[in-house]
């Protein structure tokens, strides 16, 4: 998706004159609102007005008017946007994509301990070549090569940067050879270079007009299946990651590493809170820190170990298994157990899903006393039980009380649900104490209302037959017998009466909850994984998961059953804790339970990376869903 897609020449003609320039930018702003479900910020719109004419002029001077240009191109499967993307054909008629990172900088400040982290106009930024290199790597990996052969390049275009700044930025790249292939073009070169030289500087020296078929194949290309953190974790912890962190994730990771550097070198206590919604990469960043911090400490001759803590037993079980034991043994621990254990030495604590820490103020205070540095990853809208709950404001106060520095980093771009920030915004609006309802009319994420649980199951079975990992999760509104003997048959505990809208026949759909123990048939084939492996392991699609087996995880296609504990009446949500079978909810009033129920279903409805189907057992709520969502077609 992009706010403009067409030839460089067409964009340049509209950007050349003040009258048409304003109209062009206004059209792009309307397109942005349609694509992302929110208006473009005033600062970003101003940057378009200043940078797009400079880009178009440079490309026209270089004789590149017939290349395809995409402005604010959104990377598939992510919420990140490339400033500009060029498409051309090389002499062998292969499609070539050129990432253009645009900056208006005429000056910036370099961090002394990290020359690739900069401050420009009061805002922390990544080095533009490093940022572009991340986008190049991401683009190079996302496309299915069987469908589209493509080369990817990049350039950082700083149209206001004087030669001294350009030289400083180039010199800073000496510490990161992998980003040195992204050239930097400054104001002097744009003004004085001959057309052929400018083409070369911008990585387009050999490019000709792409055919309409090449452009269409690029726009229609399907996103390759994303890497699984669990599949790649062992390599990541060994220092050989294949995961690409880009944009906000990349900036956050480098800011965290710099904060730890300063804390160690200045011998100060420093704690950092990182907030972000579902799919913003909190656990990915946590794992990269877990791998990088000990190596960095050794470089600085600092005695340090890193410890990953989480209150989520399911997530910890998945990570421990993926890490593979060996040198990683002991890296992962339960928050409460670690907080109450004797102090064992200087450790950096990396706390994931921190919003789920029980008795948070007491437990977090213990953690802060045990360590000098640490990072806490949390999402306040994923607090799901009454005895849990850590907010960023509480964390900041606790850090200040312990005489430590505190930094807050926020992540916004998300990499789940097809990378659709619009879907996440829509979901946040709907599942709110003050809900805003508007129909889902975008094609950037596949979400629909299932007419019955049978249709929901058929959709999951269809994708499972195609080799996908797909799951149905439900609200905790049916009893779960977690004490059943091992190898005893699973019982259909989730039972839903439903009426066929065509025949009027009354039916009952039934499935078992996720199994407390792994089950196999007489030939040793898996029937059901034990509950921590429900979201990932063979057989899990035949059971129904809940909030405790899905939070922190993702799977390609997600079915969600909204139970009778959350219903729509009038123009707002109503919660009934009596309909929940979660013992933690029994003593809550309806008002106390409502924000937790909304959070629970927000989590369940944001697990699917490629698509989601949702069904409510309550007729009025199902009517709302069918009014807001497209009808499920397959």
Cβ neighbors of 623 (< 8 A, separation 6 or more) are none
Q: Same domain, yes or no, for 313 and 205? A: no
Q: What is the mean pLDDT of residues 407-435?
A: 86
Query: Helical H runs in 221-359?
Result: 229-237, 247-266, 282-299, 313-323, 335-339
Residues 324 and 431 in one domain: no
Rounded mean pLDDT, 398-414: 88
Q: Are 304 and 199 contained in the same domain?
A: no
Most confident of 212-216, 322-326, 342-346, 479-483: 212-216
Q: Which long-range contacts (CB under 8 A, 24 or more apart) does 434-440 make?
A: 434/572, 435/571, 435/572, 435/573, 437/571, 437/624, 437/628, 438/628, 439/627, 439/628, 439/629, 440/628, 440/629, 440/630
pLDDT of residue 256: 85
| Nearest by Cα to 276 from 311, 242, 252, 241 | 252
Q: Is the pLDDT of residue 192 over 80?
A: yes
Q: What is the pLDDT of residues 558-576, one digit of tens each?
A: 999 999 999 999 999 999 9
Q: Which H/E stretch holds residue 124?
A: strand 123-126
Mean pLDDT of the chain: 87
Rounded Cα–Cα distance for residues 344 and 61 (Å): 64
Report pLDDT for 242. Answer: 57
Q: What is the pLDDT of residues 609-620, one digit of tens each?
A: 889 999 999 999
124, 253, 292, 272: CA torsion to nearest 10: 90
* 117-174 pLDDT, tens digit each: 888 888 888 889 988 988 888 888 776 666 778 899 999 999 999 999 999 999 888 7
Distance in angstroms (rounded) separating the CA atoms of residues 612 and 75: 20
Confidence of residue 466 (pLDDT cuts 50, 70, 90): confident
Q: What pLDDT is attached to residue 265?
A: 79
Least confident of 2-16, 242-256, 403-417: 242-256
Predicted pLDDT of residue 235 = 65
Q: What is the CATH number of the domain that holds 337?
A: 3.40.50.300
Q: How far is CA 515 from CA 229, 300, 576, in A?
A: 24, 47, 26
Higher-confidence residue of 609 and 178: namely: 609
Question: pLDDT tens for residues 470-515?
Answer: 999 999 999 988 777 777 788 899 999 998 878 889 999 999 999 9
Asked if residue 634 belongs to a domain, the reply is no
Residue 279 lies in a domain: yes
Helices (H), 562-607: 590-604
In this structure, are residues 556 and 345 in contact, taking their beta carbons and an 8 Å threshold?
A: no
Give the single-character DSSP code of 244: P
pLDDT at 524: 84
Task: Taking residues 354-381, report their average pLDDT.
Answer: 91
Q: Indicate if the pLDDT at residue 581 is higher than 90.
A: yes
Same domain, yes or no: 434 and 470: yes
Where among 172, 197, 220 does a domain terminate? 220
Q: How far apart are the first and last CA of the chain?
A: 24
Mean pLDDT of 404-416: 82
Q: What phi and psi values does residue 132 have, to the nearest 5 degrees?
A: -65, -40
pLDDT > 90? residue 392: yes
Cα gap 482→480, rounded to integer Å: 6
Residues 239 and 163 in one domain: no
Residues 450 and 357 in one domain: no
Tell me: do 274 and 400 sit in the same domain.
Answer: yes
Q: Which of 143, 96, 105 is nearest to 127 (CA)?
A: 105
Q: Based on the structure, what is the number of domains in the chain?
A: 3
Report the chain's C-alpha Rg in angstroms: 26
Domain ends where: 372, 396, 411?
411
159 and 298 housed in the same domain: no
Query: How does pLDDT run across 209-235, given as a tens digit for each residue?
Result: 999 999 998 888 766 655 566 666 666
Q: For residue 38, give the H/E element and its range.
A: none
Q: Are residues 457 and 590 in the same domain?
A: yes
Mean pLDDT value across residues 432-458:
93
Question: According to the model, what pLDDT value does residue 429 have?
Answer: 94
Residue-number span of the structural domain to which 453 is assigned: 418-628
Is 633 a member of any domain?
Answer: no
User: In the prediction, which pLDDT does 585 show?
Assistant: 95
Residues 260 and 380 in one domain: yes
My answer on whether 301 and 213 are in the same domain is: no
In degrees rounded to 5, what are phi and psi of residue 236? Answer: -65, -45
Which helix (H) or strand (E) covers residue 167, if one does? helix 163-172
Show the tokens assigned to 409: 């980093």
Interacting residues of 423 by C-beta distance below 8 A, sequence separation 6+: 417, 440, 442, 444, 445, 447
Query: Of 384, 411, 438, which residue constitutes the final position of a domain?
Result: 411
Answer yes or no: do 127 and 175 share one domain: yes
């Amino acid at each position: 998706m992009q706010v403009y897609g067409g030839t460089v020449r067409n964009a340049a003609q509209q950007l050349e004159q003040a009258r048409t320039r304003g109209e062009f930018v206004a059209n792009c702003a309307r397109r942005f609102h349609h694509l992302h479900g929110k208006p473009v910020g005033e600062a970003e719109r101003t940057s378009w007005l200043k940078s797009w004419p400079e880009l178009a002029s440079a490309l026209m001077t270089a004789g590149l008017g017939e290349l395809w240009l995409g402005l604010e191109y959104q990377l598939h499967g992510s919420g990140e946007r490339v400033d500009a993307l060029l498409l051309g054909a090389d002499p062998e008629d292969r499609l070539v994509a050129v990432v253009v990172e645009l900056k208006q900088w005429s000056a910036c400040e370099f961090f002394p301990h990290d020359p690739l982290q900069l401050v420009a106009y009061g805002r922390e930024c990544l080095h533009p070549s490093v940022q572009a290199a991340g986008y190049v790597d991401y683009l190079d990996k996302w496309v299915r090569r069987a469908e589209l052969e493509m080369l990817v390049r990049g350039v950082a275009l700083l149209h206001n940067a004087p030669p001294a700044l350009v030289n400083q930025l180039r010199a800073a790249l000496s510490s990161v050879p992998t980003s040195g292939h992204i050239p930097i073009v400054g104001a002097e070169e744009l003004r004085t270079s001959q057309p052929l030289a400018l083409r070369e500087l911008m990585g387009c020296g050999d490019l000709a007009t792409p055919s309409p078929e090449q452009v269409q194949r690029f726009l229609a290309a399907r996103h390759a299946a994303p890497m699984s953190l669990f599949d790649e974790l062992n390599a990541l912890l060994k220092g050989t990651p294949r995961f690409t962190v880009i944009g906000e994730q990349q900036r956050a990771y480098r800011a965290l590493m710099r904060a730890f550097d300063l804390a160690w070198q200045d011998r100060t206590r420093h704690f950092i809170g990182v907030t972000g919604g579902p799919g913003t990469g909190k656990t990915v960043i946590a794992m990269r820190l877990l791998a990088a911090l000990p190596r960095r400490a050794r470089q600085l001759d600092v005695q340090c170990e890193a410890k990953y803590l989480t209150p989520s037993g399911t997530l910890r079980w998945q990570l421990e298994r993926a890490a593979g034991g060996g040198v990683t043994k002991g890296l992962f621990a339960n928050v409460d157990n670690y907080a109450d254990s004797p102090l064992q030495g200087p450790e950096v604590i990396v706390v994931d899903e921190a919003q789920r820490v029980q008795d948070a103020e007491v437990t977090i205070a213990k953690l802060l006393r045990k360590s000098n540095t640490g990072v806490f990853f949390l999402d306040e809208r994923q607090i799901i039980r009454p005895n849990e709950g850590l907010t960023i404001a509480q964390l900041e106060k606790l850090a200040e009380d312990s005489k430590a520095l505190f930094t807050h980093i926020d992540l916004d771009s998300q990499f789940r649900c097809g990378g659709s920030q619009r879907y996440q915004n829509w979901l946040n609006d709907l599942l709110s104490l003050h809900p805003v309802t508007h129909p889902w009319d975008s094609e950037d994420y596949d979400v629909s209302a299932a007419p019955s649980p049978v249709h929901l199951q058929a959709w999951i079975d269809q994708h499972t037959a195609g080799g996908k990992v797909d799951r149905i999760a439900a609200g905790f509104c049916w009893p779960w017998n977690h004490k059943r003997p091992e190898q005893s048959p699973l019982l259909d505990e989730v039972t839903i009466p439903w009426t066929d809208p065509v025949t009027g026949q009354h039916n009952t759909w039934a499935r078992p909850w996720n199994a407390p123990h792994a089950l196999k048939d007489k030939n040793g084939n898996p029937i059901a994984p034990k509950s921590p492996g429900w979201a990932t392991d063979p057989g899990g699609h035949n059971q129904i998961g809940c909030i405790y087996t899905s939070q922190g995880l993702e799977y390609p296609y997600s079915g969600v059953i909204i139970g009778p504990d959350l219903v729509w009446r009038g123009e707002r949500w109503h919660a009934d804790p009596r309909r929940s079978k979660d013992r933690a909810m029994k003593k809550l009033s309806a008002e106390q339970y409502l924000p937790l129920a909304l959070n629970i279903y927000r989590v369940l409805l944001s697990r699917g990376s490629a698509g989601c189907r949702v069904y409510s057992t309550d007729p009025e709520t199902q009517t709302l869903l069918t009014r807001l969502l497209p009808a499920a077609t397959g």
